[in-house]
Chains A and B, each alone.
Chain A
Amino acid sequence: MPEVSMTVNGKPAKGQVEGRTLLVEFLRESLGLTGTHVGCDSSQCGACVVHVNGRAVKSCTMFAAEAEGAEVRTIESMAEPDGTLHPIQAAFQAHHGLQCGFCTPGMVMSAAALLAENPKPSEAEIREYLEGNICRCTGYHNIVKAILAASGQDVSAIAAE
């Protein structure tokens, strides 16, 4: 089996993979980074979104071998080492942007990629950007609100907690 090596959350990582091993399988099973989730098998749900070389990628659409030499960032690296939440994570908690938590890592990673390229997105831009992230719990209300808040915009006029 070939060996792959990459940088994951700032640390070197390597392991043996089959040609068919997906990046998400390598992260979850070889590296034990189980924060990245698998919610479908057709690259639709976005629970597995990670950053590869700074771009949001569904880690189920990519073979581990394709990430050779890449910089990979997962949900486990978003908070500070002392546990302080990333502003997006903090906004999700403050605005109840998650319920069961299963889609949440992918949502946070997608939101981070959105705000990196568009620091003050409109509601419509957020909804459009989340096209590839499915949440079954929240009706998206508080997810969109949390991302607006994380971008520093006033959400006090948006109804309800």
Chain B
Amino acid sequence: MLFRIIRTVLIAGAITVTGIAQADSVKIGFVTTLTTPAGVIGEDMKNSVMLALDHIGNKMGNLDVELIMEDDGFKPDIGKQKTDKLVKQDDVDFVAGYIWSHVLLASMNSVTGADKFLISANAGPSQIAGKRCHPNFFSTSWQNDQTPMALGEYLNQEGVKSIYIMAPNYAAGKDMAAGVESVFKGEIKGKDLTKWGADAQLDFSAELAKARASGAEALYVFYPGKAGGAFIKQYQQAGLQGKLPLYTAFTVDSIALPKLQAGKLEGVLGSKMAQQWSPDMDNAANKRFVSDYLKQHGRYPSFYGAQSYDAIMLIKSAVEATGGNLKDKDALRKALMAADYDSVRGRYTYGNNHMPIQNFYLREVVEDAEGRWTTKIVKTVYENHQDLHASKCKM
């Protein structure tokens, strides 16, 4: 009995304390990967979040921003633990971030179950776009299938007759393969799903030999993070450059390119990919983001960074639209849904499943005026494209 009284008093005390704290700050939890080799992606996201907070003077309306970064260690179980900690212990208002689809899938219920908002700055698994959609989930990236679909559409436009597919064996890898398959009209000559996770397969000799022997006209791969660099190297060493043109999704990015350039892997120049954003996009928000990032870090930001920057700006727009009243969840939700902010990719809208309806472009790897390797938009493949899973979402 005595214990129960003490506990009640303590809990009441805790509620009052957090209640006071909530009044003058917006608490944002950000979950990404900061350790393991995939930590380079998390670093890019962190840099971009810091830059966004810098640009807004660390204020949303008249509330200070309190940011808490957490490292998921590239593991779904750790990601969920860290998310639980952010929600229960830190009592944040928003949880953002998430590079990996399997980490997001494991962590989502912890956030939405506590009636907090979750802003995905990268992962967009089909499940969350479809059956598992939730009113408190918003994405500043894309649904996994969309980017490869745009690429598949481009392959159709180019008249490519057959392709070979390689992707890692996990939630997003399957989405990325399925995305191209759903759109591409030619023949799929073969498909390899390779081992993924902390001990991911990085030697693709067997798969590249199969791809060469398959007689496919082009090669499509999805290898995010360090696997991407390794893949490009082996692609070039295998002499497939020029023989089996390379098309990628989320493989060649501003994180990999400086390293590929240092390794003189010219095979990547001219390779094509689909994406919703590119550093060369011509709008005020993007110019400010890219030039300040270049100044601070000496290289271009990646799409991971762009989406993280947008996540902060989206939250800011919602906080300001509700006059800083973080308790009014319905008003916040409505404000988030409006996407009323200057995204670095230009304006976009949200579908019923809270995934962006946006343009997808074809990008090519080129050398910029100062000799740095970067990506440039070649053409628009999809205008205002919505993902296929939206119809399965009852919202």
Are both chains from one complex? no
Interface residues of A (CB under 8 A from B): none
